[in-house]
Structure 1
Amino acid sequence: MKFGWKRLLAVGTALVLSLSLSAPALAAGETAGIAVQLDGSNVTFIDAVPEVKDQRTFLPFRAVFEAMGATVDWHDTTVTAVRGDTTITMQLGSTAVTVQEGTSTRTVSMDVAPYVKNNRTYVPIRFAAEAFGCNVGWDQAAQTVLILDPEGLIGDATFEIMNAAIAGQEKPQGNQALDGDFRISMNMGADGTYDMTGEVSGVASQTAMDLAMSMDLSALAQEMTAEDLGVTEAQADAVRDYMEDILKDASFAMRMDLDQGSCYFNVPILAEFLAEQGVTENTWYSLDLSGLGLTGLTAAQTVTMEDLLDQMLTGTLDNAAVAQSLASTVRMYACLFQDAAFTRSGDTYTAVYEGAQMGMAMETKTVIRMDGDKLRDISMDMTMSAAGTAVTYDITASTTKVDMTMTMSEPTTGMEMKMDFAMSVSATTKAPETGLPAGAQEVSLEALMAQAMSADL
């Protein structure tokens, strides 16, 4: 076998591992029944455990809020939690919560009230944690309460340097034309070297994008054996020629509108293989982005690093692995881009990091070049490795151009890959198309994935 489907699968798996080694398993020590995950780690309960009452999840007051770094107190029928300049006050049997932030005080109404059981105070966790600015969710499959606490994840990190770079970008006044190309070289050792090329074009605004990509993957076809193709030797040459013709134009299109929370993408080549499932060249897959809460962020005139990190933790939270990944990612960004990470030489700021993040060994070098209060460009070199797989990125971006080189090595298959990508950005009067094309067949990606998971079960 030269370049078989199993090897293609191995390559794909290596890519997934290298680009998303960020979803560790749930932490050990889960509570029997309902578990609580705070910022990616499970909260330990010693003498009182979470429980459901009146269709709401109640947690032992002291254990959860002390885990969040708050000081808790109980007096008569009043329970309080204090963290920084925020004080939360609840009364047993009352559905009112008082939240004092500095000199400002507000009252939040709950639909259930705190209570005492076995000398332990239980509070409705969603209302209590949200009062501290947390995002609270529920993973039904894992029976786990999910809490993401921006203040706890970011800690004392400040981002004045990154904020100055963001503010110093030349803000596009209208729509921007995108024009780029890329080359991917794959070295499979004894199985040969394969080059793939492609082009990217499109239009983007502050909140929308219309992108088209074409790829030439035909070099793979002639390396496929009869076994790979599932045909006899007598049929192989004809099938290889057929596959080469198909793979010569492996195109992809995407239309996205953050204000509307919509994303559509089209992969015409799938029609060649999934026609029996009703897939055509005009099948577009839809993805609902409305739960990500991006509208306010994209509408903001000035975005800060704090805004970006906080926004990552906003939206629907219903999967424990995703919550862990988000917590790990925010911690990593706070570590890499905080002011304490940078040193200054004139108008150039450099941050170097070597350590471990999200279960990976990581080395990074970030350089921000300013012209006074204007951003000239920003570059980042990053190497990540885990389980022998190593990925290196070298990215430089300005307001008019993006250059990126990515290399990857995967020891299990002996595969090495290099991708070079360059894209220019320029003003255009054309607006991005964000809706479905006329006559398109829409298929919900979420429904498709749910169906696939159900079939697997």
Structure 2
Amino acid sequence: MKRMLSLVLSLILAWSLTIPSLAAEDLDPPLWQQMGFSSREECITYVYGNEDAYEQAVQEALERQQWEDAMADDIAAFDPDAYWESDECQYSWFYDSKEEFMEEWFLETEEEFRDVMLEDWLDQQWDAYWQETLVDRTRAELGAPAGQTGVMLDGTYLSFPGSAAPEVVNGCTMVPCGPLLTAFGGTVSHTGSDVTCTLDGAVYRLRSGSDTITVTAADGTVSEIPLGVACYEKNGATYLALRPFAEAMGCDVMWDSTFQTAVLLRRDKVIAQLDEQFTLINQMFAAMEYDASKNYKTVARMDAKLTMLDSINGDKQYPMDADVEMLQSGGTVNLKLTMDLSALLEIPGALDGMDPLSAAAVKGQLRNVKMEMIYDAEGGTLYLKMPLLAQLTGGQLDEDSWIAFPAADLTQMPVGTSATMGAVLYQSMRQQVELMSSFGPYYFEGMITPAMLYREVFVSAEEAAAYLGDDCFEASGGYSVLHYDEEDYNAYLESEYGEGSAEYLSEFEQLEMELKVARSGAATFRVLMQTKDQGMYSPAMLLDISGSQSPTRVDLSMLMKLKNQFNLELTYTGNTTETDQKPNTAPPAGETVIDPYESYMVPEPAAA
């Protein structure tokens, strides 16, 4: 009965979502009055922040009211004493008796007791109903067709008229080809069981019973798209396997198990749309682009000096340095890092509890810390060798062993080639979605699934454009200059939290950031920020970073100060040149590679 009630209420809700004017209807008494405010405007100012958030709260309150109306019989039959004795009542967990609870809550009558118990029971029932119907409500909001497997292209659900709808057969999403081909911009014609589609100057031909699509390009070149599953006729439509066709059309394809939807995103098209707001930032990225067919070598040096502040015994300095050598070609990167960190052990207390022999061994290791890394984007594997790990693990690892980590997620990002702001936004959001999807079919409000990826990546782009978009730059002296300071930050706080809020919400004594991009794409930058002093638990911190970058050189300097505790100075310089040296895709033949997911070591085959 409860499931039937939920279904009926879900259908009512889905219908109401198609009529936005209903959302403007207010409650009786109005929501602002129920919350104890003197006006709607006052309630929006102090609670919701804007009209849209208030209207959403009104809509949710209306839904709750409709739901309670439908629960009238259950409410009338509610037994507060039986509920108190049940495991559902949270209050009975903390009180020894009903009488003790009533005394603590100043409840003088059984009617008052019933009201509190009823409110608690209704809240729990509403939460259960809200969760149970959440997927249906969200599907309706996204525009998904009711009762069908959905197909979404670039954020919009495709319409499949008549009785021919997408279906999942043996784990493969099969789709009527007519609406699908039309959605991609094709002109479709049928001759018996043959289907012909003209799209972007090419002609696509398929037929029922065939597991391939024949493509004749504008220049007469003929190729095939293997589908893996034969097309078939059903309800007057020719069905084809969705994923192989969509991938051949340049789409990223994901399955959204929550909303039973195949999600297609034309990656290049989406990224191009995102990049429209970031041409100046992308100008800087483009200047850093490397030719994927060539090899590049980067040699870098980093020097650091840590000063521990001591007003009684005198300040003490601890120098550190690192040398970096990197080879890269396309998606393959080799990194060698050598560091001297032995000065860290001179800090008082660093060797406490360590016997002299062990302390000498650790100090020797830190004087010459070495690390090697090999990353193969095509194979999706990252190899790491660090002799210090042998010391830290008590000899469980051999000094010359490599550890292999699967790094499939990194293969989606360009390595050694230019990125764009759109590509970074798209891929970072996609990885978030894939991570959330890995938790299984469980869905909660606010969770981002594949069906929401298109919408959310554009929301993310709008937020980024407010700080890094083309409109944030000004032309000055041959540069495009982006400037952000304390005044801008305070204006943001006051726009979000009201006039005067910056005075007590601002975290900074100083704030200034500037990025200057030349027409060549070379850039200089400066970040200066100083936080407010919050006492011993959060002392003032100053951070000053500046530098420049070009396709062949990167220079960076940093000063970090923590009040009355330490200063850290750091400089980095890196130079990149073309080279004949080619990076390895795996450790040399015969060396030991450890699989961290296995308990044994295996010899790594020779590098290809």
Shared fold, TM over 0.5? yes
Q: 514, 523, 526: which one pairs with 1:381? A: 526
Q: 191, 198, 223: which one pairs with 2:347? A: 223
Tell me which residue corresponds to 1:306: 422
- Contact 1:176/1:428 (CA < 8 Å) preserved in 2? yes
Tell me which residue corresponds to 1:175: 295
176 and 87 in structure 1: CA distance in 2 versus 1, 3 angstrom threshold? same
CA distance in 1, matches of 2:380, 2:153: 36
1:299-325, CA deviations, whole angstroms, 9 ceiling, x for partnerless residues? Answer: 98x75432333233345844359999x
- Contact 1:177/1:204 (CA < 8 Å) preserved in 2? yes
- Contact 2:328/2:334 (CA < 8 Å) preserved in 1? yes
CA shift, 1:275, in A, is 3.3
Q: Considering fraction of residues, name the structure with more strand.
A: 1
- Contact 1:207/1:257 (CA < 8 Å) preserved in 2? yes
Q: 363, 374, 389: which one pairs with 1:244? A: 363
Tell me which residue corresponds to 1:37: none
CA distance in 1, matches of 2:415, 2:328: 13
Is 1:369 the equivalent of 2:518?
Answer: yes
**SS where residue 230 of structure 1 aligns?**
coil
1:224-266, CA deviations, whole angstroms, 9 ceiling, x for partnerless residues? Answer: 548x4424xxx4x554433322210011111112222221122
Structure 2: stretches of 5+ with no match in the other structure: 1-59, 61-128, 167-174, 189-196, 198-226, 228-242, 439-446, 449-455, 494-505, 600-608
Is 1:289 the equivalent of 2:407?
Answer: yes
CA distance in 2, matches of 1:199, 1:77: 59
Map residues 13-412 of structure 1 onto 2, 5 A cutoff.
48-50=133-135, 60-64=138-142, 86=156, 88-89=158-159, 94-95=165-166, 96=175, 98=179, 103-104=185-186, 158-168=277-287, 171-172=290-291, 174-190=294-310, 192-225=316-349, 228-231=351-354, 235=355, 237-276=356-395, 278-294=396-412, 297=414, 304-315=420-431, 317-320=433-436, 333-345=464-476, 347-353=478-484, 354-355=488-489, 363-370=512-519, 374-375=520-521, 377-382=522-527, 391-410=543-562
**SS where residue 133 of structure 2 aligns?**
coil
- Contact 1:379/1:397 (CA < 8 Å) preserved in 2? yes
CA shift, 1:350, in A, is 0.8
CA distance in 2, matches of 1:82, 1:273: 51
CA distance in 1, matches of 2:299, 2:525: 22
Tell me which residue corresponds to 1:423: 574
- Contact 1:189/1:415 (CA < 8 Å) preserved in 2? yes
- Contact 1:137/1:318 (CA < 8 Å) preserved in 2? no
**SS where residue 48 of structure 1 aligns?**
helix
Corresponding letter in the other structure for 1:364: M
CA distance in 2, matches of 1:242, 1:77: 67
Q: Considering fraction of residues, name the structure with more helix.
A: 2
1:158-202, CA deviations, whole angstroms, 9 ceiling, x for partnerless residues? Answer: 122233444455745621121111112223323843211111113
CA distance in 1, matches of 2:529, 2:254: 31
Corresponding letter in the other structure for 2:552: T
CA distance in 1, matches of 2:158, 2:401: 51
CA distance in 2, matches of 1:101, 1:259: 32
Q: What RMSD in Å do the two structures reach over aligned CA positions?
A: 5.3
1:98-148, CA deviations, whole angstroms, 9 ceiling, x for partnerless residues? Answer: 5665845899x9xxxxxxxxxxxxxxxx9xxx9xx89868899xxxx9x99
Corresponding letter in the other structure for 1:396: S
**SS where residue 583 of structure 2 aligns?**
coil
Corresponding letter in the other structure for 1:245: G
**SS where residue 403 of structure 1 aligns?**
strand
264 and 293 in structure 1: CA distance in 2 versus 1, 3 angstrom threshold? closer
The TM-score, its normalising length taken from structure 2, stands at 0.47
CA shift, 1:281, in A, is 0.9
CA distance in 2, matches of 1:230, 1:77: 66
169 and 224 in structure 1: CA distance in 2 versus 1, 3 angstrom threshold? closer
CA distance in 2, matches of 1:390, 1:342: 26
CA distance in 2, matches of 1:443, 1:82: 42
The TM-score, its normalising length taken from structure 1, stands at 0.60
253 and 155 in structure 1: CA distance in 2 versus 1, 3 angstrom threshold? closer
**SS where residue 179 of structure 1 aligns?**
strand
CA distance in 1, matches of 2:547, 2:402: 31
Corresponding letter in the other structure for 1:310: Y
Corresponding letter in the other structure for 1:378: A
1:48-97, CA deviations, whole angstroms, 9 ceiling, x for partnerless residues? Answer: 2238xxxxxxx6422345xxxxxx898x999999999x553256893248
Q: How many residues align?
A: 356
174 and 252 in structure 1: CA distance in 2 versus 1, 3 angstrom threshold? same
**SS where residue 399 of structure 1 aligns?**
coil
CA distance in 1, matches of 2:368, 2:158: 60
CA distance in 2, matches of 1:88, 1:259: 34
State the structure with more CA Rg.
Answer: 2
CA distance in 2, matches of 1:139, 1:47: 16
Q: 585, 594, 598: which one pairs with 1:443? A: 594
Q: Which structure's relative contact order is higher, taking Cα pairs within 8 Å and 6+ residues apart?
A: 1
